[in-house]
Amino acid sequence: MASEAGPRRPKYQRIADDLKAAIESGRYGPGDRLPGESALAEQYSVAVLTARQALKILRTEGLVETKRGAGARVLSFRPIRRHGIQRLARTQWGAGKSIWSADEERPVTIDVRVDALAAPEHIARMLDIEDGGSVCARSRRFVLDGRPVMLATSYLPFELVDGTAITRVDTGEGGAYARLAEIGHGPAHFREEVRCRLPTAEEAEGLEMPLERPVIKLCRTAFDADGRAVEVNEMTLDSAAYVLEYAFDA
């Protein structure tokens, strides 16, 4: 029966809390089916609609997946542990490794699109590009275990990267940062901003996630040794797919 610790909480929320506690304790493991709406309604003496709302909360939080006629199952997806500092080390991309490999050993599918376009106003300001200047925009969609987990677009001054592999779909080993280093503008300093909000309809569609689930918005600016901003990378992460980890010395 639902916990009495929060008597003023809606019944569907208390049911959801009980189910989440059962998942966290291991009572329901990855792939296990949860009780159906009718079973929950009977167990908690509530309407089926109330039980449905409880399951919707779990789906919104990314704990379960629901399919018509199959009920709700605990997701077997293992969240990505994003190492916020180590992943950007020169020893990573400088050795020809991808940034992604610092976080994950699981293979990822990346859909890439590269465009030359007029710099959006805020990007032009961040990259100190004059009016009318253009950028190389590298848009990516990351899919892990059949699940879209991140959308990202990197913007680089076009006059800086024109003629390099950065303007192609395949940038080669070490990615765009290794190519920047080859032309004397390798990243020496990064600034990353993190915030959360609900997704736009386009973001939710691209990540195949509910509109009610927040996304993590990351904006990273890379600077070369002279302090010039050489890249702005705007990322949208499914909040249920990631754990953000930052490890550093005192």
The tens digit of pLDDT for each residue in 160-191 reads 999 999 999 999 999 999 999 999 999 999 99
More confident residue, 203 or 85: 203
Candidates 214, 5, 178; CA nearest to 92 is: 178
Q: What is the mean pLDDT of residues 235-245?
A: 96
Give residue 121's identity as a one-letter amino acid code: E
- The pTM of this model reads 0.87
> What pLDDT shows up at residue 49?
95
- Domain chopping of the chain, boundaries: 11-74, 80-245
Residues 72 and 60: beta-carbon distance below 8 Å: no
Rounded to 10 deg, the angle between the 11-25 and 48-60 helix axes is: 50
Residue 150: enclosing H or E segment and its boundaries? strand 147-157
Which residues, including other chains, have CB under 8 Å from residue 56's CB and lie 6 or more apart? none
What integer pLDDT is reported at residue 7 of this predicted model?
A: 58
Phi, then psi, of 199 in degrees rounded to 5 = -75, 155
Domain 80-245: assigned CATH number: 3.40.1410.10
CATH architecture of 11-74: Orthogonal Bundle (1.10)
For every residue of 105-132, DSSP letters joined together read -S-EEEEEEEEEEEPPHHHHHHHTPPTT
**CA-CA-CA-CA torsion for 185, 187, 190, 195, nearest 10 degrees?**
90
For 149, the token pair is 């987990």
Q: From CA 17, how far away is CA 29, in angstroms rounded? A: 16
Confirm if 229 and 202 have CB atoms less than 8 A apart: no
First to last CA, the chain: 46
Using DSSP's 3-state secondary structure scheme, residue 42 falls into helix
Question: How many residues belong to the chain?
Answer: 250
pLDDT in the model for residue 95: 92
CB 132 within 8 A of CB 214: no
Alpha helices in the chain (DSSP H): 11-25, 37-44, 48-60, 90-93, 121-127, 158-161, 175-182, 201-207
Pick from 7-16, 65-74, 77-86, 143-152 the range whose average pLDDT is largest.
143-152
User: Do 11-74 and 80-245 have matching folds?
Assistant: no
Confidence of residue 214 (pLDDT cuts 50, 70, 90): very high
User: What's the pLDDT score for residue 4?
Assistant: 47
Nearest Cα neighbor of 108 from 217, 199, 241, 201 is 241
Q: Lowest mean pLDDT: which of 8-22, 152-166, 169-183?
A: 8-22
